[in-house]
Structure 1
Amino acid sequence: MSNVIVRRVAEFLKRFPPFSFLSPAELEGVAQSVEIQYLEKGETLFRQGEAARPHFFILKEGTIHLVEDAAKGEEIREVCDEGDVFGVLALLGKRPYLLRSKIVENSLVYAVPVETFGKILEENSRVALFFAAGFAAGQVVVRQDLSQGQKARSAFKSASGDHSLLIFSDQSQVKVSEKVLTCSPETSIREAAQLMTEAQVSSIVVCGQGNFPLGIVTDKDLRSKVLASGVSTARAVSEVMTSPVVTAKKQDGFSNIYLSMIRHRLHHLVLTEDGSADSPVCGIISDHDIFLSMGNSPAVLIHGLMNTLDVGDMRIIRDSAEQMLRYYLENEIAMEFVASVMTEINDVIISQAIVIAQTQLRPDFPDMDEIRFCFLSMGSEGREEQLLRTDLDNALLYQDVPPGRQSEATEYFQKLGELVIEVLLACGFAPCPGKIMASNAEWNQPLSVWKGYFSEWILHPTPEALMKVSIFFDYRAVAGAKSLAEELTQHVYQEIAHKQIFLNFLAQNALKNPPPLGFFKDFVVEKSGENRDQFDIKSRAMLPLTDLARLLVLSHQVVGINNTFKRFEKLSELEPGNAELFSQAGTAYEILMRMRALEGLQHHSSGRYIHPKSLGKIQRQLLKNAFAPISELQEIVNIRFQLDYFRR
Structure 2
Amino acid sequence: MKNSIAERIADFLQGYPPFNMLSHRALLQIATEVTITYLEKGDTIFKKDDIEHDNFYIVRDGAINLYYSSDDVKEITNIHDIGDVFGLRPLITKEPYKLTATANEESIVYGIPITVFQSVTDYNTQIHKYLITAFASNAFDPYTAEEAGEIFGDYLPNKSQDMANFQTANYTRSPITCSMESSLKKAAKKMSDHKIGCIVVVDDTKKPVGIITNSDIKNKIATGLFPIETPVTNIMSSPVMTSKKGLTIADGQLQMIKHSIGHLCITKDGTVNSKLIGVLTHHDVLVTLGNSPTVILKEINRAKRTKKLRAARLKGNSLLKSYIEQNIPLSHIINIISQINDAVIIRAVELALKKMPTEPPVAFSWLALGSQGRKEQLLFTDQDNALVFEDVPENRYAETQAYFLELAKLVTTSLNKIGFEYCEADMMANNPEWCKSLTEWKTQFKNWILKPDEKAVLLSSIFFDYNLVYGNESLVNDLTDTIFTTLEKTNLFYKFLGREAIKSPSPLGFFKQFLVEQNGDKKELFNIKSRALMTLIDAARLLILSKQIKGVNNTYKRFEKLAELEPNNKELYESCSYAFKALSKFKTKQGLLRNNSGKFIDLKTLTKEEKLKLRRCFKPIHEIQEILKIRFDLKNFA
TM-score, scaled relative to structure 2: 0.60
CA distance in 2, matches of 1:96, 1:573: 51
2:576 to 574, 582, 585: 585
In the alignment, what sits opposite 2:527? 536
**Aligned residues with identical type, % of pairs:** 36
1:129 Cα offset (Å)? 2.2
2:593 to 588, 592, 602: 602
1:636 shift after superposition? 0.8
Alignment length, in residue pairs?
419
Q: Go from structure 1 to structure 2 and tell me whether the alpha carbon gap of 1:88 and 1:557 turns closer, same or farther (over 3 Å shift).
A: same
* 1:308-350: CA deviation from partner (whole Å, max 9, x where unpaired): 1211111111112111111111211011111111111111111
Preserved contact between residue 168 and residue 297 of structure 1 (Cα < 8 Å): no
- Which residue is equivalent to 2:94? none
In structure 2, stretches of 5+ residues that fail to align are 1-20, 35-82, 92-109, 114-120, 150-157, 169-287
Cα shift at 1:407: 2.1
Report the secondary structure of 1:478's partner residue.
strand
User: Using the alignment, how far apart are the partners of 1:117 and 1:499 within structure 2?
Assistant: 57
The alignment partner of 2:582 has SS state of helix
Query: For the structure 1 residues 257 and 434, does the alpha-carbon distance in structure 2 shift closer, same or farther, using more than 3 Å as the test?
Result: same
Q: After alignment, is 396-405 or 88-97 more displaced? A: 88-97
Which among 305, 312, 318 is matched to residue 307 of structure 2?
A: 312
The offset of 1:49, in angstroms, is: 2.5
C-alpha distance in 2, partners of 1:611/1:298?
31
Match of 1:129 in 2: 136
Q: CA deviation at 1:355?
A: 1.4
Which residue of the partner structure matches residue 333 of structure 2? 338
Q: Deviations along 1:460-514, whole A, 9 cap, x unmatched?
A: 1101110111111000010011211111100000000111332122112211111
Structure-1 separation of matches of 2:582 and 2:517: 21
Aligned pair partner of 2:342 in 327, 347, 350: 347
Question: Aligned match of 1:361 in 345, 356, 375?
Answer: 356
- Aligned residue for 2:316? 321
Secondary structure of 1:530 counterpart: helix
Aligned to 1:489: 480
Distance 1:458 1:579, change over 3 A: same
Letter of the 2:475 counterpart: L
SS in 2 for 1:396: strand
Matched AA of 2:541: R
* Structure 1 residue 128 displacement after superposition: 3.3
| Cα distance change of structure 1 residues 169 and 339 upon mapping to structure 2, 3 Å threshold | farther
Specify the code of the residue in structure 2 equivalent to 1:372.
Answer: A
Amino acid at match of 2:27: F
Report the counterpart of residue 427 of structure 2 in structure 1: 436
Task: Confirm or deny: 8 A CA contact 1:168 1:296 kept in the other structure.
Answer: yes
In the alignment, is the contact (CA less than 8 A) between 1:169 and 1:294 conserved in 2?
A: no
Of 157, 162, 166, 1:253 maps to 162
Alpha-carbon distance in structure 2 between the residues aligned to 1:505 and 1:113: 55
Distance 1:540 1:172, change over 3 A: closer
Asked if the contact 2:452–2:492 (Cα under 8 Å) also holds between the matched residues in 1, the reply is no
- Indicate the SS of the match to 2:367: strand
Cα 1:97–1:626 shift into 2, 3 Å: farther
Q: Distance in 1 between matches of 2:316 and 2:471?
A: 24
Q: For residue 604 of structure 1, what is the amino acid of its counterpart?
A: N
- 1:295 and 1:317 in contact (8 A); partners too: no
Q: Which residue of 1 aligns with 2:249?
A: none
Between the aligned partners of 1:311 and 1:523, the Cα distance in structure 2 is 42
C-alpha displacement of 1:361: 1.1
For residue 479 of structure 1, give the secondary structure of its aligned residue in structure 2. strand
Task: For residue 46 of structure 1, report the CA deviation from its aligned partner.
Answer: 3.2
SS at structure 1 position matched to 2:360:
helix
CA distance in 2, matches of 1:96, 1:378: 47
1:171-212 C-alpha deviation (Å, 9 max, x unpaired): 7969xxxxxxxxxxxxxxxxxxxxxxxxxxxxxxxxxxxxxx
SS at match of 1:483: helix
Q: What is the alpha-carbon distance in structure 2 between the residues aligned to residue 593 and residue 251 of structure 1?
A: 34
TM-score (norm 1): 0.59
What residue in structure 2 maps to residue 454 of structure 1?
445
| Distance in 2 (alpha carbons) for counterparts of 1:112 and 1:644 | 63
8 Å contact from structure 2 (residues 145, 160) kept in 1? no
Structure 1: give runs of 5+ residues left out of the alignment.
1-37, 53-85, 99-107, 137-166, 175-248, 260-292
1:49 aligns with 2:62: no
Out of 140, 145, 169, the position equivalent to 1:170 is 145
- How far 1:369 moved relative to its partner? 2.6
Q: How far is 1:251 from its partner?
A: 9.4
> Against the structure 1 CA distance between its residues 646 and 173, is the aligned structure 2 distance closer, same or farther, given a 3 Å change threshold?
closer
- Residue 520 of structure 1 aligns to a residue in which SS? coil
Q: How does 1:282-293 map to 2 (within 5 A)?
A: none
- Tell me which amino acid in the other structure corresponds to 1:439: N
Q: 1:49-88 to 2 correspondence within 5 Å? A: 49-51=31-33
Q: Which amino acid aligns with 1:499?
A: T
The answer as to whether partners of 2:368 and 2:469 remain within 8 angstroms in 1 is yes
Could you tell me which residue of structure 1 aligns to residue 539 of structure 2?
Answer: 548
1:605 positional shift: 1.0
Structure 1 pair 97/401, CA: closer, same or farther in 2 (3 Å)? farther
Q: CA deviation at 1:403?
A: 2.3
Among 410, 416, 430, the residue aligned to 1:419: 410
Shift of residue 97 of structure 1?
7.0
Post-superposition offset of 1:296? 2.1
* Gap change, CA 1:342 and 1:49, over 3 Å in 2: same
Contact 2:367 2:467 in 1 (8 A): yes
Asked if 1:504 is matched to 2:499, the reply is no
Aligned to 1:17: none
Counterpart-to-counterpart distance in 2, 1:113 and 1:506:
52
Contact 1:382–1:475 (CA under 8 A) maintained in structure 2: yes
Amino acid at match of 2:518: K
Partners of 2:567 and 2:376 lie apart in 1 by: 26
